[in-house]
Amino acid sequence: MSIDKGFLDQILGSLGSGKPTVVFSPADMVKELVAYGEPEAAERLMQLSPDEIEQIGELAHKHYSTFSGESGPMLDTAICLGIIEHLEGKPRALRRKRRVNPKVAK
């Protein structure tokens, strides 16, 4: 198993920040953003610095912890909401409420 060094550095770096954060791999979120109807955000996400990714993690934590019980968003949804808020400078709903994944040819 191979671990992306940049991702590992991000995880280790966020441990000492003292701020609650969600640690995620930007590459893993591209598919989720597209499924939520946010392909432009997916493109921009891969160009962000590690500091910006950490800021998104803090926003994602805020979105995830705002809700309690079963009515709250899934973690992937909270991360996508954090990405949109970071990129656009203010929170908004995702374009799709439910993910729509493209059909894969068999």
The domain in which residue 72 lies consists of: 25-88
Is residue 105, in this structure, part of any structural domain at all?
Answer: no
In a domain, 48, yes or no: yes
Residue 36 lies in a domain: yes
- pLDDT tens digits for 12-30? 455 555 788 899 999 999 9
Please give the pLDDT value at position 99: 85
- 12 found inside a domain: no
Specify the residue for token string 């993690």.
57
Confidence check: pLDDT of 93 > 70: yes
How many other C-beta atoms can be found within 10 angstroms of the C-beta atom of residue 75? 14
The closest of 23, 22, 46 to 33, measured between CA atoms, is 46
Identify which of 48, 58, 100, 49 has the alpha carbon closest to the alpha carbon of residue 79. 58
What's residue 84's pLDDT? 98
Nearest residue to 57 (alpha-carbon basis) of 34, 36, 97, 85: 85
pTM: 0.77
pLDDT number for residue 60: 93
Domain-embedded: residue 82? yes
Please write the tens of the pLDDT for every residue from 31-90. 999 999 999 999 999 999 999 999 999 999 998 887 655 665 688 999 999 999 999 999
How is residue 95 annotated by DSSP? S
Question: How many structural domains are present in the chain?
Answer: 1
Look at residue 66 and tell me if it is in a domain.
yes
Does the residue 77 lie in any domain? yes
- Residue 41 in any domain: the answer is yes
CA 37 to chain centre: 14
